[in-house]
Chain A
Amino acid sequence: MEAHDSIRASFGLRAQVIALATRVDPGFANRSFTEGYLAQPLIMAHGSALGGHVAGIVTLDFEGLTLDRGQLNPGAYGEGYADRRHPHTYLHEAMVVSSGAFARLGVSLAAGKGFVPFGTDDPMTRPFAAYPVNHHLAQILERYVAIAAVSAGLVMVEGAVFNGDEPVSPGAPPDASRFGDSWAVRATVTPHSVVEVEGSFASVTSPEIATGGGRDQRKWSVGARLAQPRWFLQDALVEWARTDELVGKLKVSEFTSFLAEGSTTLGGTTVSARFENTTRPEEERLLDPFRFSRNPTDLGIIGITRWHIGTVAVSTPLPSRRADIAPFVEVAYAHPSEEVTPSAFVPRDFYGTTSIWSASVGIRLGVGTMVHRMGRYGVAVPNAVRNVMPDHHDH
């Protein structure tokens, strides 16, 4: 029997954080905001036994302590936040994975709290500090999930059941009674070691109203990823995602996203660029204008906004034997416009303009070794053993 798990080391531990200052102009009402954060403070641990047939993965995320108000991020939305990225839950991932091989098939079972096999890699593992608008269209995470995966040659197929409810706060666990009300499948093809192509579908029950009865979602994703540096590119991703929202079986809204990003190295400096064209739902804002109501008005939304965003980041890893240190500068330009008219949310009226600039200066810090690819488990990890975290290196 051959081990197929991505985690071959017996134990690994890594801590990382991004310290940054961000200025957004305007955040709303022609008002600019400048704030500083510790973003993505993570401790990641993994271990394996029985020759890699059994593995455990734990990721702790302390954004609930450092980012309670959310990170300024024009266009970002979800879990009650708008134009700020929400903090993730303290227990970001806690998965047990069992892997094996039968004949020419690799088989794995994974269960715990973690990523649903849907969509592309989490933005946390990619080269930008600012999240794309499409995070809630292109990934599903922090759910109680059970995943079965099969690999055969160049093809990997995953199927999962999970709870549809989104996290309600950093410290709140998913609603265990809803486990199994949602499901997803993902197929990944690796025509060769350089490129991965994934296609996935998910049926998510009432993600926004945790007690159930809210709008359901049908989600599609297609993505192609550069798995290894090639040509002039260090990494690259192209993805399309779509989410239909339904009341019963009746489709009432559709949201789509196209995103392309890539990085290259110029004399020791990593230059990354991203373009995104994504639509997002608008819901009533609260007294804090960076917060959405988490109770959609009578199951309706108040508008749909299309976001065109271009982002450029420049990062220069500094030589260090004990840690990863990478100062960076990131600049984004966003253009929001109403997708349906008339709309109860008009970007020009709310923001005071339809041109929004944001800039961040910061430093990525990391220590330790990380070889597990966040969001994929067992035999569903293509080209299993390699470094997958941006700007991180095995030590």
Chain B
Amino acid sequence: MAFTRRLYCGSASILLAAVFGGCSSDSATGTKPFTGTPLSIIGHGQTTARYTAELWTRGNIAYTSTWGQRSATAVGNAVHIWDVAGNTPVMVDSLIVELATTLGDIQVSDDGKLLVVATERSNGSIVVYDLTNPVKPTRLTRFQTANTASGVHTAEVARVNGTLYAFLSIDPQVGQVAHLVIVDLSDPRNPREVLVRNMGNPFVHDVFVRDGLLFTALWNDGVTIWDIGGGGKGGTPANPVQIGNVRTASWSPAVGGSEAHNVWWFQDQPGGANAKRFMFVGEEAPGNGSLLNSSNGDIHVVDLSDMSAPREVAFYHVDGAGTHNFSVDEQRGILYAAYYNAGVRAIDVRGDLATCTADQKSSDGRCDLRKMGRELAAGLGNGQSFIWGVHFDGNFVYASDMLTGIWKLAAASRPTS
């Protein structure tokens, strides 16, 4: 049978294949097996009715969003609520967001009082829930304006000078370019739009907010740093003032754009010269096929010693896979990265990431974190998972798997040396 298929698809049968065949059918792109320390799996909360998307945890509760359309009747309109106190996450309830097909992003506010869920595609909005009872969120409002209607791809919730805001990255759609919407959540029942600004090429994909600085991932336009209250340039959430921009490299020179997807400004807890020096930028690149089949894209390390002129100094690459979202254990200096078909990777990010030996550099002079021995551990890269997001909660690492639900992993350890 296999011989027959090879013959059919062989060069002598190109015409027949073109007429009738499906001979070019691809299978999942393989990644090189990780041979280092595995991330120990503690438990698996399984759900396969819908595709799982982003996750957030607080205390013993985890929330996972859902994405796309897994079958004719199962669309990404559910938030699953998990009890993660035990080894195995247990789904205790679900929320259904009406008139939604993708809930791409989900986050709990820093005080634990609010859950914010983004709805993408048509009817773009954020839905705000009260978490007085964390396993029974109660809806406060659904915030939707003409500026959000084309789809909220990500919604980050962060506090700026004491005020809670949601930063909404809005998809480009017919008649609208991508734009950032900032919403004041001081009164969560009545969110107030304070900024609408076009940005991104073609997307503004995600943001990171810390200490009054806003970092926007602008795809081919790289990452821009804005003062929104902590940068000393008079910026506010209603009027961000640009500080700097960096166009990170691409995993492949042929791509030609940064594909800047997400950002984390690392603040290493022990302090020191490198404590606030580095920013990590995730690059999301299409795989050679389709989602669930393959992925591409590197983690880029940017030196922020001069915020007005940030520059890329290092990177981390996995053959045959691409990164998605991050979560950083800043106490231990370990970055956890969702890596789609390559599972979860744990990387040592403490210390000077910009200095390495000649052997540890790529041809363009950037340091290669793998060659620097900073790859600590990996997990779930078994070909049966497709990891969207990770969340480190102080003790454990949780990973959302588009195919099967949520995984609970043991945190990685730092090298003993």
Query: Is A306's CB under 8 angstroms from B72's CB?
Result: no
Q: A302 to chain B: which residues have CB within 8 Å?
A: 68, 290-292
Query: Is A299's CB under 8 angstroms from B290's CB?
Result: no
Q: B25 to chain A: which residues have CB within 8 Å?
A: 306, 339-341
Q: How far is the CA of A304 from the CA of B27 in the complex (A)?
A: 12
Is residue B88 contacting chain A, with contact meaning CB distance below 8 A?
Answer: no
Q: A214 to chain B: which residues have CB within 8 Å?
A: 202
Query: Is A289's CB under 8 angstroms from B123's CB?
Result: no
The answer, among A240, A295, A340, A349, for a CB contact under 8 Å with B290, is A340
Contact residues of A between 237 and 251, Cβ < 8 Å to B: 240, 247-251
Write the A274-286 contact mask toward B (1 if CB under 8 angstroms, else 0).
Answer: 0101000110111
CB distance from A69 to the nearest CB of B (A): 15
Q: A284-B102, A289-B72 are in contact. Are A250 and B254 (CB under 8 A)?
A: yes
**Chain B at the A interface: mostly helix, strand, loop or mixed?**
loop
Query: Is B70's CB under 8 angstroms from A293's CB?
Result: no
CB distance from A117 to the nearest CB of B (A): 23
Q: Which of B151, B171, B261, B292 lies at the interface centre, i.e. has the most chain A CB atoms within 10 A of its CB?
A: B292
Q: How far is the CA of A286 from the CA of B19 in the complex (A)?
A: 32
Query: Is A211's CB under 8 angstroms from B172's CB?
Result: yes
CB distance from B386 to the nearest CB of A (A): 8
A286 closest partner in B (C-beta): B122
The answer, among A281, A295, A298, A344, for a CB contact under 8 Å with B173, is A295
How many residues of B are in contact with the other chain, CB < 8 A? Answer: 60
Write the B72-84 contact mask toward A (1 if CB under 8 angstroms, else 0).
Answer: 1101000000000
The answer, among A210, A249, A297, A341, for a CB contact under 8 Å with B293, is A341
Is residue B257 contacting chain A, with contact meaning CB distance below 8 A?
Answer: yes
Query: Is B73's CB under 8 angstroms from A342's CB?
Result: no
Is residue B71 contacting chain A, with contact meaning CB distance below 8 A?
Answer: yes
CB distance from B201 to the nearest CB of A (A): 5
Q: Which of A169, A256, A275, A339 lies at the interface centre, i.e. has the most chain B CB atoms within 10 A of its CB?
A: A339
Query: Is B175's CB under 8 angstroms from A304's CB?
Result: no
Q: How far is the CA of A213 from the CA of B99 in the complex (A)?
A: 29
Q: How far is the CA of A280 from the CA of B86 in the complex (A)?
A: 45
Query: Contact size class for A?
Result: 35 or more
Q: B403 to chain A: which residues have CB within 8 Å?
A: 342
Is residue B278 contacting chain A, with contact meaning CB distance below 8 A?
Answer: no
CB distance from A37 to the nearest CB of B (A): 23
Q: B255 to chain A: which residues have CB within 8 Å?
A: 247-250
Is residue A337 contacting chain B, with contact meaning CB distance below 8 A?
Answer: yes
Query: Is A341's CB under 8 angstroms from B68's CB?
Result: no
Q: How far is the CA of A308 from the CA of B257 in the complex (A)?
A: 37
Q: A250-B252, A294-B173 are in contact. Are A212 and B202 (CB under 8 A)?
A: yes
Q: How far is the CA of A301 from the CA of B73 in the complex (A)?
A: 20
Q: B19 to chain A: which residues have CB within 8 Å?
A: 258, 260, 275, 277
CB distance from B73 to the nearest CB of A (A): 6
Q: B252 to chain A: which residues have CB within 8 Å?
A: 248, 250
Is residue B85 contacting chain A, with contact meaning CB distance below 8 A?
Answer: no
The 26 listed contacts between A and B (C-beta, < 8 Å) are A172-B174, A212-B201, A247-B255, A247-B257, A247-B259, A249-B254, A249-B256, A250-B255, A253-B290, A260-B19, A284-B68, A285-B68, A286-B122, A294-B173, A295-B151, A299-B259, A300-B287, A306-B22, A339-B26, A340-B289, A341-B25, A341-B26, A343-B290, A344-B292, A344-B402, A345-B69
